[in-house]
Amino acid sequence: MPIELKEGVRVNIDGFNQEHRILCEVYAHIGHTRGGQPHKIAKDILKLIAVEKRHPGPWRKILCFADQAAAQCASGSSWLATVCGDFGVAVSVFSLPPDLHEAVVSAQQRQVMVNPT
């Protein structure tokens, strides 16, 4: 959902509930993050913080993962975990139904991850 930060500047947030003041970003990758994937997660954390800054008041900020291994980049003793703690971003892991889990794994196997030359 697009949310305005200031006139003409918007960010897309995966989950937004104005009434309950909840902001959520979702990461569906299965398995450990690699390459630039942690940078994408860091950008998601920054978006949650930016929306809260521009729409003051208490917001529940949640970073949702579909896999515990992927969530490790934002938990434990990582620098992203420290940022989440400092800025009140909760890290949650949700189990996908088996058929959806397999569909995500299958899609990931078809993807070729390469750095641009």
pLDDT value for 79: 92
Q: Read off the pLDDT of each residue in 77-82 and give the average, rounded to a whole number.
A: 92
Sequence ranges of the domains in the chain: 9-110
Q: Read off the pLDDT of each residue in 10-25 and give the average, rounded to a whole number.
A: 94
Give the pLDDT band of residue 72 (cuts 50, 70, 90): very high
* Contacts of residue 58, Cβ cutoff 8 Å, sequence gap at least 6: 21
CATH 3.40.50 fits 9-110, yes or no: no
- Kindly report, residue by residue over 41-67, the tens digit of the pLDDT: 999 999 999 999 998 888 999 999 999
- pTM summary value: 0.84
Lowest mean pLDDT among 52-56, 86-90, 96-100, 113-117: 113-117
Residue type, 70: A
pLDDT value for 83: 95
